[in-house]
Amino acid sequence: MSKPKKDRRVESPPRVVYFKPQGIPMVQLAQVVLHVDEYEAVRLVDQQKLDQEQAAERMGISRATCARILESAHHKIAEALVDGKAIRIEGGSFVLGVNRFRCLDCGTLWEAQISPDDEPPEPAACPSCRSSRVLDFGRQAGWQPVPPWGERGRGGPGGFGGPGGRGRHGGLGGWS
């Protein structure tokens, strides 16, 4: 039996979770799935220019694991660019530090710290207009709080996490 994956720290969920080539209808596109931890490794190393050791420390993993995650991410991104595939960012083994929200009525963006004691966050309401029509970026990327019975779920078909992966000890969330 293989060792379970260690959750990787992700500072905040991606703001955009789907990219596609222009001019090709989505129904005709193949896609690659970039896990949220792969997105975080690319963000830290390629966009923020940290070395792999620094990125690994921020993600709570070894440098070798960071290198493997980054190599996988680069391969998936290259496949999408060269073969004209869409990229969907979701799933993987990750724990969020901050979640992002966007009001669907007034467009306000805001962030909220995630409690270290794994308490599920209160239902979000827009701080500007108080609307409850809110997009939860964390759940969109596959994060879900710990289930009430405290059991850690496993991602993948048939597991607690569903097709999107474990997220924060849970599975694919969807839209709030």
**pLDDT, tens digit, for every residue of 34-86?**
999 999 999 999 999 999 999 999 999 999 999 999 999 999 999 999 999 99
Q: Which of 38, 57, 89 is the last residue of a domain?
A: 89
Domain that residue 174 falls in: 97-176
Q: Which of 89, 110, 143 is the last residue of a domain?
A: 89
Given strand 109-113, what is the order of strands in its sheet? 109-113, 98-103, 134-136
Q: Tell me, what's the pLDDT at 145?
A: 59
Counts of helices then strands in the chain (DSSP H, E): 4, 8
Query: How do strand 94-96 and strand 31-34 relate by DSSP bridges?
Result: unpaired
pLDDT at 1 over 90: no
Q: Which of 50, 70, 89 is the last residue of a domain?
A: 89
| 56: in domain | yes
- Among residues 85, 72, 102, 101, the alpha carbon closest in space to that of 18 is found at 85
| 1: in domain | no
| 51: in domain | yes
The structural domain count of the chain equals: 2
Helix extents (H) in 103-145? 137-140
CA distances from 9 to 47, 59, 78, 125 (A): 17, 4, 24, 26
